[in-house]
Structure 1
Amino acid sequence: MGISRPPVVPLLVLLALGACAQGSVSPPEPAGYREENYRSPVPLTLRGAVVLDTPGLAERLADRRVLLIDVLPREPPPPRLAPDNVWMPPPHEGIPGAVWLPNVGHGRPPATVLAYFSDSLERLTAGDTGRALVFYCRSDCWMSWNAAKRALSLGYRHVFWYRDGIEAWRAGGHPLVILSPFGEGAK
């Protein structure tokens, strides 16, 4: 009589599937804006918006009427910078053709940043709330999710969210360029 052994291969397959599923868990959409832990897993969806992957973004960008918006925050100066020292932030890389609206993706931005966001969208779209807007920042970054949600609340009807962010764009072999903040830039 042989010794009974558990089926190893099916068990390994189940363990591997469980590990994959565990690593790719996305949270549900919150009712409001994300206000903390901005660099953490993001939802798969954004109610009212279309979620784009890298090929989808590349296809959208072929349409020159699409407005691509980078919402990654501006790099802050070092906390103990002497008053007589000049702060030179590092260059900000973004997707070619994007407009950089820094700091507009926070969950509760100050009124000045909210005004900068809405005024910038108004200027960039010439008041056309039907203009297609694509928001992005980094992978697993809630700031682009928040900004896209905020654009929807301002009445923009064709909002897209590039969920995978600049890292996926770069990994797809696409170029990056140096961007400067639009207008005065949210400080």
Structure 2
Amino acid sequence: MIRRAALLLLMAVTPALAEVPEPQGYRGEPYSAPVPATLAGAEVIDAERAGALHDAGVAFVDAYPRRRRPEGLPEGTVWNEPRHDTIPGALWLWDTGYQQLSDAEQARLTDGLAQATAGDGSAPVVIFCRADCWMSWNAAKRALGMGYSQVKWFPGGTDDWVQVLGRELVRAEPVAP
């Protein structure tokens, strides 16, 4: 009885243990939350597969959002944009994983995917963020909707890159607005 109660309590406080369904459209806030184990039309990959694809020269796209100067900071306050680290060689297509994209964000995703794949919709592309980050799920789903046929979604992202593979990250440089 005590074991069963402990298991039920553990399941209640550990939402990652529950299966997360794929939404019909794109996921909104909170973006940092457990993600589905699937993405219809994409290959969901683990860290080992991501490492092998990276070593083979497959394009990697980082969908992590860019942190900008918060509104309402007092005049004269110095703002330093936080550093974002990513997988070496990845193209950082910031702000392209939101539920709704502005025209500029959509253009960044469209142009960035074309750059990453040399305009070949059948070229493989790995899309990632951090673990439990809906930004990469949304961006990968959009890539599928844009006709990319070899989308690889890496839900463990930079966290698994470091923790599972023991590989290093590098400072990300955002693509031009």
Same fold (TM over 0.5): yes
Structure 1, unaligned runs of 5 or more? 1-7
2:141 alignment partner, SS class: helix
The yes-or-no answer on 1:174 pairing with 2:167 is yes
Structure 2, unaligned runs of 5 or more? none
Q: 2:108 aligns with which of 104, 109, 116?
A: 116
Alignment of structure 1 residues 132-147 onto 2, 5 Å: 132-147=124-139
Q: In the alignment, which residue of structure 1 is the partner of 2:27?
A: 34
1:144 alignment partner, SS class: helix
The list of structure 1 runs, each at least 4 consecutive aligned residues, that deviate by more than 2 angstroms after superposition, is 14-23, 78-88
Q: Deviations over 1:83-139 (max 9, x none)?
A: 666643122101112111100000101111101110221233221001111111111
Equivalent residues of 2:45, 2:155 under 8 A apart: yes
Q: In the alignment, which residue of structure 2 is the partner of 1:53?
A: 46
Using the aligned pairs only, state the percent identity: 40
Larger Rg: 1
Aligned residues: 173
* Residue 78 of structure 1: how far off its partner (Å): 2.5
1:97 alignment partner, SS class: coil
Q: Deviations over 1:137-169 (max 9, x none)?
A: 111110000000000000000001111121222
Separation in 2 of the partners of 1:144 and 1:171?
19
* Residue 67 of structure 1: how far off its partner (Å): 0.8
Separation in 2 of the partners of 1:63 and 1:17?
42
Q: In the alignment, which residue of structure 2 is the partner of 1:79?
A: 71
Separation in 2 of the partners of 1:82 and 1:19?
45
Question: What is the root-mean-square deviation in Å for CA atoms of aligned residues?
Answer: 1.9
Separation in 2 of the partners of 1:54 and 1:20?
26
The yes-or-no answer on 1:165 pairing with 2:157 is yes
Separation in 1 of the partners of 2:114 and 2:59?
12
* Residue 26 of structure 1: how far off its partner (Å): 2.7
Assess, with a 3 A threshold, how the Cα gap between structure 1 residues 121 and 19 changes in structure 2: closer, same or farther: same
* Residue 178 of structure 1: how far off its partner (Å): 0.3
